[in-house]
Amino acid sequence: MSNIIVFENKIAKYDNCPDIYFINENLSIKDISNFFSVRDLKKIKFYLSKLNKNKRKERIIDFDLSEKKKIIFIIIKKSLLSFDLEQLGAKLFSFLKKADVYKVNLFCASFKKSSNSKTGQNDKNILDFIHGANLKSYSFKKYRTKSPDNFKLKIKVISPEYKILSKKYFRYKAIEEGVNLTRNLVSEPPNILHPKYYVETIKKLSSLGLKISIYDENKMKKMGMNALLGVGQGSINKSYLVTIEWNGNKNSKEKPLAFVGKGVCFDTGGISLKPAKFMEEMKYDMAGSAVVVGLLKTLALRKVKLNVVGVVGLVENMPGGNAQRPGDIVKSYSGQTIEVLNTDAEGRLVLADVLTFTEKEFKPKFIIDLATLTGAIIVSLGEEYAGLFSNNDDLSNKIFQSGNKVGEKVWRLPLHKNYNKLMDSTVADVQNINYSGGAGSITAAEFLQRFIINKTPWVHLDIAGMAFSKKAANLNPSGATGFGVRLLNKLIEDSYE
C-alpha cells in the first residue's frame, strides 16, 4: 500500500474532501483566519471554545463545518524535530484510516503561519509530515485472497510553492521505496524467498544503474568461502554471495562505503534445531541483507554522487542429511579455522566470509554490517535500540547521531579483549559460540571482529529486536519495519555527501 500524493496550488471549487489545517497548541486560529469565511470562522471558534481538557490534549481534532465539509486540525508545538513531524503524519494516516476517509486537502501555508517557520524550513516540515504518513501506510497483503485491506489515501497538497515541493518530494519518495523494498523482502514467506529467488529479485535493480555480481557455490568453493557454504549445505536451496555496486562518482579516488548484510532466508537452527514455537519468525533472519538491498535502491534513486557497495550472503539453514554438524571445523575465506559448536550460531559464519571478502575486494572507507544476529540483544535493548559494536569511535558517533535524527536509535556496547578470549577454541582458531561467560551479543561481535583483517573502520549493528515487531508503533506497521534504511541513508547524507 502507498498513499497517492498530488501537489497543486488550489482546490477545485466544489471539492468536498476534508480540509486539513495546522494550528498552534493554544488552538488560536488568528494566524490562519484568512483561510475561512466570516461565517465559518465563527463556527470554528465556537467549536474550539467548547472542547474539554482531554480533547484539547489530542494532536488531531476534527469536526463537521457543514453537512458536506469536514475540517481537521493538526496541533503543532514549537521546535518540532523532523521525527516529531513524521510521527504526527503517521498519526494522521491512522486517524484517517480509522475514519475511513480516502481523500483530503492539506493546506501547507497554515503550517508556516502557525509555526512561524521560514519558507525553506516550511517545505521540509511539510514533506517530513507527509513522509511519516507514507511510511505508516505500508501493509503486506499480497497473499490474502479474502477481504484484503484496500484502503488507499490520496493527499492533495495545496501550496503556492507546489512545484518546489513536488521536486523536493522525490528524495523522500526514494527513501520510502527503499524502506518498502526492505519490508517486502522481509515479509515474503520462506517458500518463496529462498536464496535463488532473492538473487533474481536483486538482479532487477540493475535497471536503476546498479552493478550486480553473483557468486554461486562453485565460485565460492574455489574462493574458499567454507564458513558461508557450511551453513547452507543441509538445504536443497543453493547459497549465493551478491555484490551490489553504485558508482555515483566514477572519477573519484575515494574508497567506497561498504554495507554488509546477513541473508539467512530461513533459519531452522540446523542440527541444533530451534523450538517449534515461533520458528515461523525465522523468515525474518535475512533482514540485515534486506536493509542493504533497500539502502542501495534508495541511493540509486537519489543518484548520490558517491561510490557505495552492498554485499549480502544468502543461505538457508536446514537440518538435511548433508547438514553441518556441531563439532565440525571449517576453514574460512580469511584462512582462519572455525570450530562449529552450535549450528544455530550460523549468521556469524556467513558474515565472517562476507566481511573478509568485502574488505579484501573493495578496500572500503568503512564497513557497516547488519544482522538479526542474537536473541541476547533483545534481552539487553528490547525493541527500542539496535545494538552497536565497533572498532571506531568516530563512525560510531556518526551513526548514533543519525539514528536519533530519524528515530532509528542505536546503543553502543563494549568490545574488550577479555570478551574476545571467550571465543578461543581449543582445536581451531576460533569457536562460533561461547557457552560460559554470558554476553552473547558482545561475544558474537567479537567473533565478527576477528574477520576484519586490515583494521578497516567497522560497525556491527545487531538488529534482531528492530527488524520486525508484533505491534504497530511510530512509523511502522506490525511485521517488517525496514529499520536501518533511513538510519544509514541519513548517515550518508549528513557525513559523506
> Is 177-495 the same fold as 4-160?
no
Q: Which CATH number fits domain 177-495: 3.40.50.2000, 3.40.630.10, 3.40.47.10, 3.40.640.10?
A: 3.40.630.10
Q: ∠ at Cα 85 (80, 88), nearest 5°? A: 120
Residues 198, 192: Cα–Cα separation, whole Å: 9
Cell 547524507 sits on residue: 493
Q: What is the pLDDT of residue 478?
A: 85
pLDDT tens-place string over residues 300-353: 999 999 999 999 999 999 999 999 999 999 999 999 999 999 999 999 999 999
pLDDT tens-place string over residues 349-373: 999 999 999 999 999 999 999 999 9
120 pLDDT more than 70: no
Q: Compute the average pLDDT of residues 17-21.
A: 94
Instruction: Look over the chain and give the mean of its residue pLDDT values, rounded to a whole number.
Output: 94
Candidates 56, 127, 44, 59; CA nearest to 94 is 59
222 phi/psi in degrees, rounded to 5: -65, -30
Question: Of the listed 70, 112, 183, 348, which one is catalytic?
Answer: 348
Cell 533472519 sits on residue: 285
Answer with the residue of higher pLDDT: 262 or 148: 262
Which three three-digit cell numbers place residue 310?
552492498
Does the pTM of the predicted model rise above 0.85?
yes
DSSP H or E run through 59: none
Candidates 262, 260, 240, 223; CA nearest to 452 is 260
Amino acid at 12: A
Q: What is the pLDDT of residue 374?
A: 98
Residues 177, 301: Cα–Cα separation, whole Å: 9
Query: Which SS3 state, helix, strand or coil, does residue 241 take?
Result: strand
Cell 523532523 sits on residue: 82
- Laid out side by side, the sheet with 70-76 consists of 4-8, 154-158, 103-107, 19-24, 70-76, 60-64
* CA end-to-end span of the chain: 31
Question: Of the listed 43, 274, 331, 365, which one is catalytic?
Answer: 274
Check if the beta carbon of residue 86 is closer than 8 Å to that of residue 131.
Answer: yes
pLDDT tens-place string over residues 26-83: 888 887 888 888 999 999 988 888 887 777 778 899 989 988 889 999 998 877 788 8
Check if the beta carbon of residue 66 is closer than 8 Å to that of residue 19.
Answer: no
CATH 3.40.120.10 given to domain 4-160: no
For the question of residue 274 being annotated catalytic, the response is yes
The DSSP bridge partners found for residue 242 are 214, 312
Q: What is the pLDDT of residue 119?
A: 46
Residues 58, 98: Cα–Cα separation, whole Å: 16
Which three three-digit cell numbers place residue 368?
557497516
Task: Provide the total of helices (H) and of strands (E) in the chain, helices listed first.
Answer: 16, 19
**Domain segments of the chain as ranges:** 4-160, 177-495
Q: What is the pLDDT of residue 48?
A: 87
Candidates 289, 36, 41, 63; CA nearest to 186 is 289
pLDDT tens-place string over residues 185-222: 999 999 999 999 999 999 999 999 999 999 999 999 99
